[in-house]
Chains A and B, each alone.
Chain A
Amino acid sequence: MPLKFNLKDCTGCQLCQLACSASHDSVFNPVKARLKIVHDYRGNDIHIKAARCIFCKKCEDVCPVGAISNNGRWMNVDHDVCIGCGKCAETCPTGVIYLNDNKKSIICDLCGGEPKCVEWCPKGVISLKEVVSR
């Protein structure tokens, strides 16, 4: 079940990324978040892009050791099994999977069903359900 983004209302503050790294890694570091907001300038126009897990499960398919699974709602990585080959990150179509300092795959786990990014988004942009533009 992917996160829904109403990008039209996204202001690009990246509080979602801070909440993500804080709750999972106990640090503030947007680079470590499981989603990523990018400010994209085309000409002189500003667009905001959001990369996040779209629950395509391609990482699960490509994992050579079966470390990645899903419960029908979110992905799980068994770090005891993960060998840090990085195939999941290479395959991820949105580019949000990465290997942490211990060479273990990091994938959005929806915080076990209550995502911190949803809780912290100040403008109600992120949701587990379809959101209506404000």
Chain B
Amino acid sequence: MCRVVPEGSDFAEGGREQMRGSFWGKKLVVDLTSGTHRVEEIPDSTAESYLGQKGLGARIIMEDVAPDTDPLSPENELVFSTGVMTGTIVSCSAKLAISAKSPLTGTITDGSVGGHAGAELKYAGYDVLVIKGRAPALSYIFLSPDRVEIRSAAALKGLGTFETDTKIRKELDDEDVKVLAIGPGGENQVLYACVSSERYRQLGRGGIGAVFGSKNLKAVAVRGWLDVTVPDIQACMETAAKFHEADGIFRDEYEIYDQGTPVLVNLSQEWGLLPTRNFQVGRFDEYENINGDSFKSVRKNKKACFSCGIACGNYVVDGDARVEGPEFETIAILGSNIGNGDRAKLIEMNSVCDDLGLDTISTGGVLAYMMEMTEKGVHDFGIRFGESEKALSFIHAIAHKEGIGADAAGGSKRMAEKYGGAEFTMQVKGQELPGYDPRGSWGMGIGYATANRGGCHMSAYPIEMEAWGPLDPFTFEGKAKLVADLQNTQAAKFSMGVCDFWPVASDTLAELFQVTFGGEWSGEKVEQAGERIFNLQRMYNVMVGFDNRHDTLPQRFYKELLKEGPPKDHPMTEEAFATVMQEYYAYRGWDEHGRPKPEKLTELEIEPALIQRYRTAAGL
């Protein structure tokens, strides 16, 4: 065991030098190759420009990780970043992001996870933790305000995330330690391996767990006890309380509390966009087995992340199966999308994926690809839609890379390169799609195609305004602007560390930022920061080699019509999609190849040195 007390004397009792509001301005950099670490300053100006969490992660990856880096090499980095408001009483503000270059897509990626680990990192005295290099043997990091230790994880090798959590807390003899761990999936570098936080919260997407594995990093355990301060605590409490009340997010009738995300099953079914049997159809006969009411009927209790008054989490127990979840994405992709209408089986699959450390969305997408390939006679993988028990054994095979699992561990896009059937891979940039068929809400298609981490529903959520709102879901008119604006707002909100489930206005975010970080903020300034962050991530992807050719959707969405419900008879053609993408680029100030124009980046006040590096790499 290597135990080192960080240099500097600011860990003395009573804290350290004054924070800038609730922002330490501190980055802990751990190099696993050399077993050393150091603390670096993060200037206030960086926080003002990139806010925190997602934005700060992107800024650090942009600076540190060359675009041609092999994502599974020691040169890739894991950047854990909190939001400025994390650790304060502002609800829903405790999310933690981990950014890296994704082994699944090759893009920049950032996953986000709730639970309590983000706040714990803040209480440990850091806004950001950067992990670089590769440990000589399987290890885990334990950090607290008075120590940074790289400890042996030899005894944890091959263990699931649940047992890893238990054993680390026992070894450290502290029930308050928060553990972010990978399972066999991450250790074996399955390209869509996830990271579990305190067992039941997952940072699912983009293969961050595989990057852990490539670094011989089994887990990060965090414990903090330092004060987080704000400029005026009374003003902070009052402002937070005012907006919690005004937005009604603590109320029982708030639907995300009542059912959690499974509330979306009925809506998706009604709108005929619930991904079913690999997105072949948009309605699932057995949806009532796996909808919000069904999961509510087996719910033991509600669970919240740190400082969250909503508590979207459902802890469910059905027979022997138990999980905190399942979230809507998991229900859609490991449920209807693989023809699985068995509630207990779905709970078990969710739990097994969490424990083995696999992203449920990509896992379901890969299974659905194999099922359709088998049914269409392209290649017999020995699994068909609805074969849930078999699916469970495939999930184990994927995590351990056994048999066909070794190929499936690379994701559907890579599988199709070997076995054919590219048309059955429901992915964008190699990342399998989440639970919304874009033919039922066309703006979601623009979001999928342009999300900086590949197929993803988090960059923008226009479905709320289309299928579930006032806008026509079956037109691209006005959608380029809509999606770009939503992406900017989301980028700002997530960079502030605020969860998606608080539908918060930018003006509100500005006021909350003011009472936590300090300074003068406006909704406009918040949105501009969001646009800056979105563009910064895009710059990185362009430097890697991504452009308009990659901003597309699976061919199925252009060529096959959904035959039931509202999307019926609304063809979303490839031509119309290409046209709206050009509209989108123009609105964003990008060229026709989807590359941000240097003058746009200057207007967004991105640092000249970064713009210069981008121009050189992109030949602009």
Are B229 and A122 in contact (CB-based, < 8 A)? no
Query: Which of chain A's residues has its CB closest to B227's CB?
Result: A27
Q: Is the CB of A40 within 8 A of B87?
A: no
A45 contact set on B, CB distance < 8 A? 317, 322
- Answer yes or no: A8 CB below 8 A from chain B CBs: yes
Contact assessment for A29 and B226 in the assembled complex, using a CB-CB cutoff below 8 Å: yes
By beta carbon, the residue of chain A nearest B354 is: A44
Tell me the complex Cα distance, A25–B237, Å. Answer: 13
Chain B 154-171 interface mask (CB, 8 Å, partner A; 1/0) = 000000001001100000
In the complex, A104→B322 CA distance in Å? 44
Interface centre among A12, A21, A48, A101 (most CB of B within 10 A): A12
Q: In the assembled complex, how far is the CB of residue A56 from the closest CB belonging to chain B, in whole angstroms?
A: 23
Known: A11-B303, A28-B229, A38-B175. 13 other contacts (CB 8 A): A11-B304, A15-B89, A18-B89, A18-B307, A19-B237, A23-B237, A26-B233, A28-B87, A28-B233, A31-B225, A44-B199, A123-B311, A134-B252
- In the assembled complex, the Cα of A29 lies from the Cα of B116 at a distance in Å of 13
Partner of B322, one of A15, A21, A44, A123: A44
Chain B residue numbers with a CB within 8 Å of A40 are: 175
Of B14, B237, B310, most A-chain CB atoms within 10 Å: B237
Select A29's contact among B123, B237, B244, B311, beta carbons within 8 Å. B123
The 0/1 profile, CB within 8 Å of A marked 1, for residues 173-209 of chain B is 0011000000000000000000000111000000000
30 contacts between A and B (CB under 8 A): A8-B301, A11-B302, A11-B304, A11-B308, A13-B304, A13-B305, A13-B307, A13-B309, A14-B306, A15-B309, A22-B89, A22-B233, A26-B233, A27-B227, A28-B228, A28-B230, A29-B123, A31-B123, A38-B175, A41-B165, A41-B199, A44-B322, A46-B200, A46-B303, A46-B315, A101-B14, A120-B89, A123-B309, A123-B311, A134-B252
Q: Is B22 an interface residue (CB 8 A)?
A: yes
Binding site for B on A (CB under 8 A): 8-9, 11-15, 18-19, 21-23, 25-32, 38-41, 44-46, 48, 101, 120, 122-123, 134
B91 at the A/B interface (Cβ < 8 Å)? yes
DSSP majority for the A interface?
A: mixed
Top 9 nearest A-B pairs (CB, nearest first) are A122-B309, A11-B304, A11-B311, A27-B227, A13-B304, A122-B250, A28-B228, A31-B225, A18-B89
A25 vs B226: C-alpha distance when bound (angstroms): 12
Shortest Cβ distance from residue B357 to the other chain A in the assembled complex, whole angstroms: 15
Contact B227 A122 (CB under 8 A): no
B231 to chain A minimum Cβ distance, whole angstroms, is: 11
Complex CA–CA separation, A22 to B200 (angstroms): 29
Please, which residues of chain B bring their CB within 8 A of the CB of A29? 123, 225-228
In the assembled complex, which residues on chain A have CB atoms less than 8 Å from the CB atom of B304? 11-13
| Interface flag for B83 (CB, 8 Å) | no
User: Could you tell me if B306 and A13 are in contact, using CB atoms closer than 8 angstroms?
Assistant: yes
Q: Which residues of A contact B351 (CB under 8 A)?
A: 44
Q: Which residues of B contact A28 (CB under 8 A)?
A: 22, 87-89, 227-230, 233
- Looking at chain B's contact residues, is the secondary structure mostly helix, strand, loop, or mixed? loop
Tell me, in angstroms, the Cα distance from A22 to B458 when the chains sit together.
Answer: 33
Check B88–A122 contact: CB distance below 8 A: no
The chain B residues found within 8 Å of chain A, CB to CB, are: 13-14, 22, 87-89, 91, 116, 123, 162, 165-166, 175-176, 198-200, 225-230, 233, 236-237, 241, 244, 250, 252, 301-311, 313, 315, 317, 322, 324, 351
Is A11 touching B225 in the complex (CB atoms < 8 A)? no
Whole-angstrom distance between the alpha carbons of A134 and B301 in the complex? 11
Name the residue on A nearest B89 (C-beta): A18
Contact of A38 among B176, B198, B236, B250 (CB under 8 A): B176
- Inside 8 A of A22's CB, which chain B residues have their CB? 89, 233, 236-237
CB-CB < 8 A to A23: which residues of B?
237
Within the complex, the shortest CB–CB distance from A104 to chain B, in Å, comes to 14
Q: Which of B13, B311, B315 contacts A122 (CB 8 A)?
A: B311
Find chain A residues with CB under 8 A from B308 CB: 11, 13
Q: Are A14 and B307 in contact (CB under 8 A)?
A: yes
For the complex, give the distance between the alpha carbons of A38 and B177 in Å: 11
Contacting residue for A27 out of B162, B233, B309, CB 8 A: B233
Instruction: Considering the complex, give the chain B residue whose CB is closest to the CB of A14.
Output: B306
Give chain A nearest CB distance to B228 CB in angstroms: 4
When distances are taken between beta carbons in the complex, the residues of chain B under 8 Å from A120 are 89, 241
In the assembly, what is the distance between CA of A123 and CA of B315, in Å? 16
Bound together, the chains give a CA A21 to CA B351 distance in angstroms of 35
Q: Quick check: B324 and A46 within 8 Å, CB to CB?
A: yes
Cβ contact within 8 Å between A18 and B88: yes
CA separation between A8 and B299, bound complex, in Å?
Answer: 12
B87, closest chain A residue (CB) = A28
A96 to B334 CA separation, bound complex (whole angstroms): 44
Chain A residues with CB under 8 Å of B199's CB are: 41, 44
Task: Write the nearest CB–CB distance from A111 to chain B, whole angstroms.
Answer: 13
Cβ of A27 and Cβ of B228 under 8 Å apart? yes
Known: A13-B309, A31-B123, A122-B311. A44 touches B162 (CB 8 A): yes
Taking CB atoms, residues of chain B closer than 8 Å to A11 are 301-304, 308, 311, 313
* B121 CB, nearest partner CB in chain A, Å: 14
- Determine the distance from Cα of A11 to Cα of B115 in the docked complex, in whole angstroms: 11
Complex CA gap A25/B14 in Å reads: 13
A residues near B175, Cβ cutoff 8 Å: 38, 40
Closest to A123 in B: B311
CA distance A14 to B406 in the complex (A): 42
Instruction: Write out the residue numbers on chain A whose beta carbons fall within 8 Å of the beta carbon of B87.
Output: 28
A52 to B224, CA, bound (A): 21
Please, how many angstroms separate the alpha-carbon atoms of A108 and B311 in the complex?
26
For B310, the chain A residues whose CB sits under 8 A away are: 122
Measured CA separation A11–B302 after assembly (Å): 6
**A84 to B79 Cα, complex, angstroms:** 42
Q: How far is the CB of A129 from chain B (nearest CB, A)?
A: 20
Name the one of B89, B116, B162, B198 contacting A19, with C-beta atoms under 8 angstroms. Answer: B89
